[in-house]
Structure 1
Amino acid sequence: MSASFASALAAARDAAASQHYPQGALYVVATPIGNLADISLRALHVLQLADVVACEDTRHTQSLLRAYGIDKAPAQLLALHQHNEHEAAQAVVARLQQGQRVAYASDAGTPAVSDPGARLVAAVREAGLRVVPLPGASSITAAISVAGAHGDDGGFVFGGFLPSKAGERDAAVQLLAREPRPVVLLEAPHRVEALARALAVLGQRPITVGRELTKQFEEVATMACAALPAWLAGEPSRTRGEFALVLHGTPQPQAEDDGQRVLELLLKELPLKGAVKLAAEITGGSKNELYETALRLKRLDPGSSPE
């Protein structure tokens, strides 16, 4: 254990020990995606407190715990991964019913988001038992936070891993071409070049690549989708590590008659100037042009007042 984490454990006790941690509950624990310092104080405390730590890979999690100075006997680690999640979930439920605290950690990041954990949580909830989230590191939110991408509605889509088969992957990319919001994708190093070739058909649409996020050789770059294959080929190291990519959103053009349609609706409820101001905010159109349109609409309605 690093001496720096000895002080982190003490800080975790000071900050989190006074809080309530019910027995018979599953604690879903986010762990770092690379940088060990990205663990939360509450996660450190719960990992110490847990009677059992269920984990995607017991060897990986044991190494992680030891790095923080947390000692768990092998019998306190329970393997729960994509190949045994259903059966292992029942073992977790049995332990919870005995009043044990069980923490679940996937290999990196937040469980049940592309990683195992969703079936476990569902099984625990179906048994009428409590699930407690311990939020923390996530490659998804890390990537979107540095991409500078935005959709018209401020949201984004999590696409995760696209299909590995070429035909299915190409079909998925065609669907992404019609998605106006930013899309976060994940990819492994041995498949990222194939993904880049598939995305290249999107041409000049921007994409931000996050490689080895939070780690020593972290790299973040934004380029056109068409340039992605050449960028990866430019340096041998660029095809190494884990990838989180953000396909930027594409603003949807307003139909030419949108301003008039919005005005017609607003003029039924608002005075002319108020309707014009609000229509400009909604459509992004010119106030002067919308004002002229509003006057024309009013002239076509002899019973209305221009103001």
Structure 2
Amino acid sequence: MTDLRRVPVPDGLAGLRLDVALSRLFGFSRTTAAELVDAGRVSLDGEQPARSARVPADAWLEVEMPEPAAPAEPRAVDGLVVLHDDDDLVVVAKPVGVAAHPSPGWAGPTVTQGLAAMGYRLSTSGAAERQGIVHRLDAGTTGAMVVAKSEHAYSELKRAFKARTVDKRYSALVQGHPDPTSGTIDAPIGRHPGADYKFAVVADGRPSVTHYATEEAFRAATLLDIRLETGRTHQIRVHMAAVRHPCVGDLTYGADPTLAAHLGLQRQWLHARELAFGHPATGVELRVSAPLPADLAHALDVLRSES
């Protein structure tokens, strides 16, 4: 039976693109929203709109909802290492090429599948395919990622990330030498106006704040210690590209492919080095660090040998 929803457009979503409004209203991805519009499963005041149509406040949306996703099937994930495990949560070192959870268009391995294969039972809060997921790392970014096992931990960790009380530390190797050598990038981030698959600094984007400090400088690149105040998709990659110092190897955001090849990199040099937060059961700070992967360590070795 088709799940048909008919709802008015809330005032807070008026003026947004249709695919963005659908995503925020129903909680599914923008890709899924666009696919529903393209398939003719969305009407706006009885008309079949384009995904880029702007929605007025007094309009009515009618949507044939997508089939609910199934929970992640167990699938062993090479290189997925457990850094911390207790009754409420598990912190893993996510390897490169692994997404946080299943999603449309992603056929590769995921953290939730890997944990299921290890026998972990995760929180059932949230969408079925995102069980236990309270934050995400890009598939091409490695490092520390916390996943909730209990329902209480899921609620408390989601609240902590939203309240920005989680200390998120990254290491990033960027091209050139940022000036000043330490500082803050405060610039809103939203979908790239010309490329739906990436993001950009845009006037109507969501508030985004990145703090950085130089750790080590090389002839062609700089190793930065980064602390995220917010947690937007691709935030570090977008902000560093916006100040003309993209992460080394990040070809999506304008990095030099020659330097990446010289260092043996096949992805952006970006690593979620450390997470710290109040434990949801005790309130005591839990701080967990993820070791640097071999490909990123090798790139640093090459740069140091040439300095």
TM-score (norm 1): 0.26
Structure that is richer in helix per residue: 1
TM-score (norm 2): 0.26
